[in-house]
């Protein structure tokens, strides 16, 4: 009998890649999503008899009770993602990113496994030259970071779960986000030919959205040996500053001009280098490099020309 997986927020940027991947691997998949962005990214899944969809809010106890019935695995992707979006609606951010997770933990059975994505933003400001590992103290600086860190803690303390601390995600998804850093800078390079960078020497880690989906599949297959621990998910060779990222994009878009100026600041103060060795030691290896993602985006932006593909 196929393993049944509930994915909340399954029509989002990550979920729209993960859901078809789960179906392709033989899982029965139920997606619970409010379709807040009016996205149609899962239409291709509707022909699959193992796919089910519930239009609803993960914060609604009655909706969640129904969705959880007979599920073996829960992947709670539903969230307000990013500091700006959370700042725009703090009540919705807290209720979705944290309170909905607490509700989920109250309603699920102890046998139901949870695989939860959080963010490297929880590390805040790193120490120069020192890698952030899963043992590094978490020092989130924004509401977004705090809600994700508290939700991760609740899941790990509840047992029968594992968490993925995602690097900055990039790449094409059926529910596209053009506001993520690599996606954004590549779009600007193609359309505006220029970008003004603030905090250009701040470093962060990166990971392709398809490798995020692969990490979840890996976690499902190796759950018993990986459970009750957090795992950084990123490219080991992609701890890069914004200026270094722009230099790579310029290799593919030679007309791209970038310069640094004190025109803003990152509310999360993301400036860190990250070690992903704990996940790699479980046998996971990313398949999609930063260069592959940039080449993919350049092709994708021949199709997409509209800034509506973002969270803010």
| Alpha carbons 278 and 133: distance in angstroms, whole number | 8
pTM for the whole structure: 0.95
How far apart CA 204 and CA 20 sit, in angstroms, is: 29
pLDDT tens string, the chain, 312 residues long: the values are: 899 999 999 999 999 999 999 999 999 999 999 998 899 999 999 999 999 999 999 999 999 999 999 999 999 999 999 889 999 999 999 999 999 999 999 999 999 999 999 999 889 888 888 999 999 999 998 999 999 999 999 999 999 999 999 999 999 999 999 999 999 999 999 999 999 998 899 999 999 999 999 999 999 999 999 999 999 999 999 999 999 999 999 999 999 999 998 877 777 667 899 999 999 999 999 999 999 999 999 999 999 976 666 666
Report how far residue 56's alpha carbon sits from residue 9's, in angstroms, rounded to the nearest whole number.
10
Cα–Cα nearest to 17, from 288, 307, 242: 288
CA dihedral 95, 98, 104, 107 (to 10 degrees): -80
Q: Give the CA-trace dihedral at 167, 168, 174, 177, to 10 degrees.
A: 160
Q: Where are the domains of the chain?
A: 4-170+207-233, 181-203+237-282+288-300
**Assigned CATH topology for domain 4-170+207-233:** Rossmann fold (3.40.50)
| CA atoms of 236 and 126, how far apart (whole Å) | 16
The fold of 181-203+237-282+288-300 is: UDP-galactose 4-epimerase; domain 1 (3.90.25)
Asked if 131 contacts 154 with a C-beta cutoff of 8 angstroms, the reply is no
The number of angstroms, rounded, from the C-alpha of 136 to the middle of its chain's C-alpha atoms is 20
Three-class DSSP category at 230 = strand
């Amino acid at each position: 009998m196929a393993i049944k997986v509930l994915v909340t927020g399954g029509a989002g940027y990550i979920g729209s890649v993960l859901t078809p991947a789960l179906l392709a691997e033989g899982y029965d998949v139920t997606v619970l999503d409010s379709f807040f962005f009016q996205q149609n990214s899962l239409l291709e899944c509707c022909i699959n008899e193992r796919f089910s969809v519930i239009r609803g809010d993960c914060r609604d106890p009655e909706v969640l009770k129904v969705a959880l019935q007979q599920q073996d695995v829960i992947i709670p992707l539903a969230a307000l993602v990013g500091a700006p979006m959370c700042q725009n609606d703090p009540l919705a951010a807290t209720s979705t990113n944290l309170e909905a997770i607490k509700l989920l933990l109250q309603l699920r059975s102890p046998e139901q496994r949870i695989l939860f994505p959080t963010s490297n933003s929880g590390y805040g400001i790193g120490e120069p030259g020192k890698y952030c590992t899963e043992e590094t103290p978490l020092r989130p600086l924004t509401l977004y970071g705090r809600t994700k860190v508290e939700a991760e803690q609740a899941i790990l303390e509840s047992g029968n779960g594992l968490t993925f601390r995602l690097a900055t995600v990039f790449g094409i998804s059926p529910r596209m986000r053009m506001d993520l850093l690599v996606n954004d800078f590549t779009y600007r390079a193609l359309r505006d030919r220029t970008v003004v960078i603030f905090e250009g020497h701040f470093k962060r880690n990166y990971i392709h959205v398809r490798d995020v989906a692969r990490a979840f599949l890996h976690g499902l297959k190796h759950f018993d040996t990986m459970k009750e621990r957090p795992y950084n998910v990123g490219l080991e060779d992609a701890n890069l500053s914004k200026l270094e990222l722009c230099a790579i994009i310029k290799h593919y878009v030679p007309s791209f001009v970038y310069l640094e100026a004190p025109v803003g600041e990152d509310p999360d103060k993301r400036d860190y280098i990250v070690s992903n060795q704990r996940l790699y030691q479980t046998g996971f290896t990313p398949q999609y490099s930063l260069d592959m993602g940039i080449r993919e985006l350049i092709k994708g932006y021949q199709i997409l020309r509209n800034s509506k593909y973002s969270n803010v």
